Amino acid sequence: MPRTALTPTNLGATDVADPTGTTVDSTLVTNGVVINTADPSRTVLRVTNSAGSTKKVTVRAGGKDGPAWMRTQGDTEVSVAASGTRWIGPFSEARYLQHGGKLNIDFESGFTGTVTAFKLARSL
């Protein structure tokens, strides 16, 4: 099954309403999410965990035929405490950028909560 696409909320010089995020359910746990046409160095994730225990979010290193020349450093796993929120990023293109300019994120089995992607303005 294809990954669920996340569209980042642009953070710039103007006011931005706090987005509710995308619900992490069994489909997202199984398939993961993707940010298409990502700019990893300007991308930040807000992940909330509503599960009863600590769960992990994995940001995938670039694939073997992609532009991420530092992909051999591997994926990054971040633990999110039960009923907690973690801000993750920004990321290195050299390590995480997938073929086609994508950023892939996966969730540990049993993860529930939300994920929200933000794109930082160049002027910040």
Q: Is residue 42 part of a domain?
A: yes
3-state secondary structure 11-22: ECCCCCCCCCCE
Residue range(s) defining the domain that contains residue 62: 4-11+23-120
Tens-place pLDDT, residues 105-114: 999 999 999 9
Residue at 16 is within a domain = no
**Number of domains present in the structure of the chain:** 1
Residue 68 lies in a domain: yes
pLDDT in tens, 51-98: 999 999 999 999 887 788 898 899 999 999 999 999 999 999 999 999
Residue 124 pLDDT level (bands cut at 50, 70, 90): low
CATH of the domain at 83: 2.60.290
Q: Is residue 18 part of a domain?
A: no
